Amino acid sequence: MATSRRAPAPADRKRDAARTREKILDAALVEFSEHGYAGARTAAIAERAGVNQQLISYYFDGKAGLAAALNERWRQISGGLNLSGLPLADILDNFLRYGMDNRAWTRLLAWQGLTGGDADDGDHDDFFTDIVAKIREHQRAGELADDLDPAYLVLVFFAAAMAPVVLPQVARRLTGQSTDSAEFLDAYSTQTRRILDHLRD
């Protein structure tokens, strides 16, 4: 005798919805990182996620909502990499190693710069203002020379963390090592730490 299917409990439905949202966001990150915001297609994102395309509209209100949700996800990730009390060298190393292990984020940032595909909302500006303020705290703690502008330092740190992903061919020609190798990553990490040490003067 066939048994009737029991409707999922509210808690199960909530967990399923959260998992579906995460699958869609994971797929959107890959699609945006490979094609940029303008070139990304919601149909391709749905296919990557294995969901109905209508769910993207339901959960995120389309592509712009996906981009905003990814920005929020990155804020949470970066907060874990930029913990208060960590030396600046450790923070830069955290971003470098995370970017190498999760290259889609770095490629997404590069696409945004090349195509202007990033929404310049006030909240996003606040995110960067907070980063500059944290660098200023490290400066007051004596980790950086007083005559260095924290805003420009943040720009340099972004470039340093992104370089192995965005310019792997240049890194290979300069160092003779593939950026995919552990040897390169360890050597690059050591050198960035030494550079930061010199910025104390």
Following DSSP, what letter does each residue of 11-28 receive, concatenated? Answer: HHHHHHHHHHHHHHHHHH
pLDDT at 97: 95
pLDDT at 154: 95
- Which of 3-7, 81-85, 138-142 is predicted with the least confidence, judged by mean pLDDT? 3-7
Residue 7 token pair: 């409707």
Q: What span, in angstroms and rounded, lies between the C-alpha atoms of 129 and 30?
A: 27
pLDDT digits 0-9 by tens, 13-42 = 566 889 999 999 999 999 999 999 999 999
Give percent helix, percent strand, percent coil of the chain, each to the nearest 5: 75, 0, 25
pLDDT digits 0-9 by tens, 143-192 = 999 999 999 999 999 999 999 999 999 999 999 999 999 999 999 999 99
Q: What span, in angstroms and rounded, lies between the C-alpha atoms of 164 and 157?
A: 13
Domain boundaries, the chain: 10-198
For the cut 80, the answer to whether the pLDDT of residue 133 exceeds it is yes
Superfamily for domain range 10-198: Tetracycline Repressor, domain 2 (1.10.357.10)
pLDDT at 115: 84
Q: From the CB of residue 172, how many other CB atoms can be counted at a distance below 10 Å?
A: 16
Q: What span, in angstroms and rounded, lies between the C-alpha atoms of 71 and 179?
A: 26
Considering the entire predicted model, what is its pTM?
0.82
pLDDT digits 0-9 by tens, 71-125 = 999 999 999 999 888 999 999 999 999 999 999 999 999 998 988 755 445 456 7
**Planar angle of CA 8, 14, 20, nearest 5 degrees:** 105
pLDDT digits 0-9 by tens, 36-80 = 999 999 999 999 999 999 999 999 999 999 999 999 999 999 999
At 199 the three-state DSSP class reads coil
Phi, psi of 30 (to 5 degrees): -65, -45
